[in-house]
Structure 1
Amino acid sequence: MGNKKKIGFWSIVLLGINSIIGSGIFLLPNQAMELIGPASLLVILFDMLLVVSIALCFAEVGGMFNKNGGPYVYAKEAFGDFVGFEVGFMKWAIGIIAWATMAVGFVTALSAIWPAAGEGMTKNIIIVAILGGLGVVNILGVNISKVLNNIITVGKLLPLIIFIAVGIFFIKGSNFTPVFPNGTYVSGSFGATALLIFYAFTGFESIAVAAEDMDNPEKNIPKAIITVMIIVSVVYLLIQTVSIGILGQGLAITKTPVADASSIFLGSWGGILVSAGTLVSIGGINIASSFITPRTAVALAEDGLLPKCLAKYNKKGTPYISIIVTVALTIPVALSGSFTKLAAISVVSRFAQYVPTCLAVLVLRKKRPDLKSSFKIPLGPVVPILAICVSIWLLFQSSTEKILWGLGGLIIGIPIYLLMIKMNKKHKNDVEDVA
């Protein structure tokens, strides 16, 4: 290992919190209220348990390999090249859908301060400007420093902490009844809400990846995952509780729930503070996405699974072709739907990574006993099987349209895979002929 400085336990916890808390919790409490009312608090707990079980699967397989490639490597080792390619290709597709969701999320949050931003042509122009502008910044190799990242983390968490700490004193108990909208449970609303709120928890997979640079990973990985999930879940529960307690039934009809609730108990400056925090938070995630998403395609191109041109770098050291292609694919996705719709599609597409990773735990335990993980999930196969079953159940709570959008990348991937195999074979033959 040499003298490489290991990341301490609390640094990993902060990294995990920063990866998870993004646009979702600022913009989704209203949708959850509309679907299932105050019972949305139970949905948050349900999602927390599902996410912890999936994250533990990531921790076990993550401990078997060095950290490059993540789910793509796990699927390839467990199920062979084709499944590995599909998971890797979906990682890029998920990045594109997630970035599109963030760009629309930014416009949705901006509309709280400037209503025209959420309407028609203005909305579309801002979305294209965000995606195109960040693409240009990225191609020019402008380095967005760690300082900016730290400012964004503080800018994101500060308004949420103020919102909870002050808002808790203004809650009205009567706003929590009836538990379901109009006093009756609508069939399927629990699953639909669980799928939507799950979006706010995504990003946890980065904990297991970063955990390989940790001190004492065997002890600290599961501890960090559970600590992060408890902190995030408590924050989400408190935000939802304060939002319901202050806005009551009105929560279901607001576009920017946290900002609207703040302006009630903190006055107009409170609403502005939270809106600014929301924009900083979602802006930061847009910047991160603009850097990470094109580089996912680069990794696949370097492995010969996508055209080699996607791995070309310019003089500034940036993968310019991959950036241009990623931006060109993200713009139509962003213009195609609302934040809520894209968030649901983003969740559906993520299961194309989560389910193979949970399955890989079971397969690699049997197939590759030589791969010793730095962490093993307790209770034998119970946790991975539970995570797989609940994930599949949750997928079926989505509409056919969203499933097709979310998993369409798997179908698109098949001809690309076959084409790349053919091209690589031809290239290999040409090289052999020359030799």
Structure 2
Amino acid sequence: MTTLTTPPPAVTPTGTPAGNADEAGKHARRFGLPVATALVMGNIIGGGIFLLPASVAPFGTISLVAFGVLTLGAIALALVFGRLAERHPRTGGPYVYAREAFGDFAGFLAAWSYWITTWVSNAALAVAAVGYLDVLIPVHGSVAATITAALVLQWLPALANLAGTRYVGAVQLVATVLKFAPLLLVAVGGLFFFDPSNLGPFQASDQGPLGAVSASAAILLFSYLGVESAAVSAGEVRDPRRNVGRATVLGTLGAAFIYLLGTLAVFGTVAHDELVGSTAPFSDAVNAMFGGSWGGTAVACAALVSMVGALNGWTLLSAQTPYAAAKDGLFPAVFATKRRGVPTAGVLVTAVLASLLTVYNYTVGSEGVFELLVLVTTFTATVPYLLSTAAQIYFLASGRSARVDRRRLVRDAVLAALAFGFSMWLVAGSGYAAVYQGVLFLFAGVLVYAWIAARKARAGTAA
């Protein structure tokens, strides 16, 4: 068993870290259950939902089976994060759990890989959002206008974060409501226009049933990235021992409901042959349901709101994990400063790095470098998941923690095993190229850890 060099901070009776008490103010407000749930749902559902039905249509309706299997895995992972947050209700989520179980190095790897995921993903979200913005306000004619639009879409959520957690929560709640209104319109309204003849074959590909499920799952696997959102921000959630787990499960179930029902509704309103070649399946569904050609504009608005909401939530998460690691001396000290409840340095550094990557994409990225980096994030995002589920298995198997509930030991062990298997499936679904490049990113982090650990050791010797 690895000995920790820094004890966990004291917590208040509600589970809030006592050291955070001085961060409260009129601009800093802890998230209640509704906002924490909106954070999870908003981060899971970005813009991918608007293309998913067309992406899996070539496999037939068997892809819904893959969706169901993935949903069970995601819920198991969500429950594990809820149990871990009960045990360690601190900002940082996977970083905290990995460090508590396996020591500084494992904690750093979780923080490093998660941080890479967040700022590269923010750049990808901004680039994708410009595509939807172009439907409303044509900007593609000028590279300068496109870059400006992408940067504005990145920095508006960053400014909301810098204004304080009070505003982050407000933006997230409003964006979640606005994004789910049109999605629910298609998901629920589509049932009234459902035509079974549009579904096409159950298995449309030449692969066997298992191969078709696996192939469609590879596309859908990353639809649930973000289930950890409430756990990462546990220090900003009121009564985290209770609310983080609830928000994680409720948010994951809400996203699953939208995914499954929305995909089924599109399958039933758009003819299969048309859906396979569609570039805007939700637009086609709206047009089929209500007539006219306004579906593209409506879906573009919904997608843009969805992207901005996801950028708002992911910007907060991008600062939270480095903040927790910096408090323990495992990231540069500048990341450990908070104002108005938000780690300002983390937000600024993330926004700058994502902006630079965005500019690079539009000026030099024609060789596919940007696409490769985005693919790498699908691997780096799963590293904290694996470490977190392994930490839960360690806590349960070792009996080290007095907080292990013996009455729920078997259930928690089964959930942890399922979540670990789900995380391994995510890694496998990343593809060989992503895993290869992702491991190089992790090894680059090893050098950073060596430098930080050396400085920490020298400081300890001098003291």
Q: TM-score range by the shorter chain?
A: 0.7 to 0.9
What is the correspondence of 1:69-218 to structure 2 with a 5 Å cutoff? Answer: 69-113=92-136, 117=140, 123-131=146-154, 134-135=157-158, 144=167, 146-181=169-204, 184-185=207-208, 190-207=213-230, 213=238, 217=242
Give the alignment partner of residue 423 of structure 2, picking from 391, 395, 398: 391
1:428 is matched with which residue?
460
Q: Deviations over 1:135-159 (max 9, x none)?
A: 5676687973544333212211110
- Write the distance in 2 (CA, Å) between the matches of 1:54 and 1:350: 13
Q: Deviations over 1:274-330 (max 9, x none)?
A: 32122112112212333432343333233222222444679x997665444323432
Q: Deviations over 1:191-235 (max 9, x none)?
A: 343233232222222355678845994xx8777655554443232
Q: Normalized against structure 2, the TM-score is what?
A: 0.78
- Write the distance in 2 (CA, Å) between the matches of 1:272 and 1:117: 17
Percent of matched pairs sharing the same residue? 26
SS in structure 1 opposite 2:46?
coil
- Write the distance in 2 (CA, Å) between the matches of 1:330 and 1:345: 15
- Write the distance in 2 (CA, Å) between the matches of 1:216 and 1:426: 36
Which range is displaced more, 252-261 or 10-19?
10-19
- Write the distance in 2 (CA, Å) between the matches of 1:156 and 1:338: 30
- Does the aligned pair in 1 maintain the 2:193–2:289 contact within 8 Å? yes
Quote the offset at 1:239 in angstroms.
0.8
Q: Deviations over 1:231-283 (max 9, x none)?
A: 43232111111222223232233333223321332333444233212211211
SS in structure 1 opposite 2:61?
helix
- Does the aligned pair in 2 maintain the 1:104–1:339 contact within 8 Å? no
Quote the offset at 1:71 in angstroms.
1.1
Quote the offset at 1:60 in angstroms.
2.2
Q: Check 1:385–1:146 CA distance in 2 against 1; reply closer, same or farther (3 A cut).
A: closer
Quote the offset at 1:47 in angstroms.
0.8
Q: Check 1:127–1:77 CA distance in 2 against 1; reply closer, same or farther (3 A cut).
A: same
Q: Check 1:155–1:56 CA distance in 2 against 1; reply closer, same or farther (3 A cut).
A: same
Which range is displaced more, 316-325 or 406-415?
316-325
Corresponding position: 1:22 with 2:46: yes
1:303 is matched with which residue?
328
1:351 maps to a residue whose letter is T
Give the alignment partner of residue 396 of structure 2, picking from 365, 370, 375: 365
2:265 maps to a residue whose letter is V
Corresponding position: 1:276 with 2:308: no
SS in structure 1 opposite 2:172?
helix
- Write the distance in 1 (CA, Å) between the matches of 2:331 and 2:52: 35
Which range is displaced more, 5-14 or 78-87?
5-14
- Does the aligned pair in 1 maintain the 2:168–2:312 contact within 8 Å? no
Give the alignment partner of residue 319 of structure 2, picking from 253, 275, 294: 294
- Write the distance in 1 (CA, Å) between the matches of 2:33 and 2:343: 33
Q: Check 1:380–1:342 CA distance in 2 against 1; reply closer, same or farther (3 A cut).
A: same
What is the correspondence of 1:233-248 to structure 2 with a 5 Å cutoff? Answer: 233-247=256-270, 248=272
- Write the distance in 2 (CA, Å) between the matches of 1:115 and 1:384: 48
Give the alignment partner of residue 378 of structure 2, picking from 347, 369, 378: 347
- Write the distance in 1 (CA, Å) between the matches of 2:15 and 2:251: 25
Corresponding position: 1:261 with 2:285: yes
- Does the aligned pair in 1 maintain the 2:335–2:345 contact within 8 Å? yes
1:413 maps to a residue whose letter is G
Q: Deviations over 1:167-198 (max 9, x none)?
A: 22323322222233356559855334323323
Q: Deviations over 1:371-396 (max 9, x none)?
A: 31479464363332233234324422
Size of the aligned set, in residue pairs, is 427
Give the alignment partner of residue 401 of structure 1, picking from 412, 433, 436: 433
What is the correspondence of 1:312-327 to structure 2 with a 5 Å cutoff? Answer: 321-327=345-351
- Does the aligned pair in 2 maintain the 1:17–1:228 contact within 8 Å? yes
Quote the offset at 1:359 in angstroms.
0.9
Quote the offset at 1:119 in angstroms.
9.3
Q: Check 1:312–1:201 CA distance in 2 against 1; reply closer, same or farther (3 A cut).
A: closer
1:42 is matched with which residue?
65
- Does the aligned pair in 2 maintain the 1:198–1:347 contact within 8 Å? no
- Does the aligned pair in 1 maintain the 2:75–2:249 contact within 8 Å? yes
- Does the aligned pair in 1 maintain the 2:99–2:108 contact within 8 Å? yes
- Write the distance in 1 (CA, Å) between the matches of 2:153 and 2:244: 36
Instruction: Give the CA RMSD over aligned residues.
Output: 3.8
Which range is displaced more, 259-268 or 78-87?
259-268
SS in structure 1 opposite 2:308?
helix
Corresponding position: 1:419 with 2:442: no
1:68 is matched with which residue?
91
1:254 maps to a residue whose letter is S
- Write the distance in 2 (CA, Å) between the matches of 1:69 and 1:137: 20
Quote the offset at 1:338 in angstroms.
10
Quote the offset at 1:74 in angstroms.
1.0
Q: Check 1:72–1:8 CA distance in 2 against 1; reply closer, same or farther (3 A cut).
A: closer
Quote the offset at 1:115 in angstroms.
6.6
- Does the aligned pair in 2 maintain the 1:111–1:118 contact within 8 Å? no
Quote the offset at 1:57 in angstroms.
1.8
SS in structure 2 opposite 1:285?
helix
- Write the distance in 2 (CA, Å) between the matches of 1:24 and 1:202: 11
Structure 1 unaligned regions, length at least 5: none
SS in structure 2 opposite 1:177?
coil
Q: Deviations over 1:388-425 (max 9, x none)?
A: 23432442233222223444432121000111111122
1:381 is matched with which residue?
413
1:51 is matched with which residue?
74
Q: Check 1:186–1:265 CA distance in 2 against 1; reply closer, same or farther (3 A cut).
A: same
- Does the aligned pair in 2 maintain the 1:355–1:388 contact within 8 Å? yes
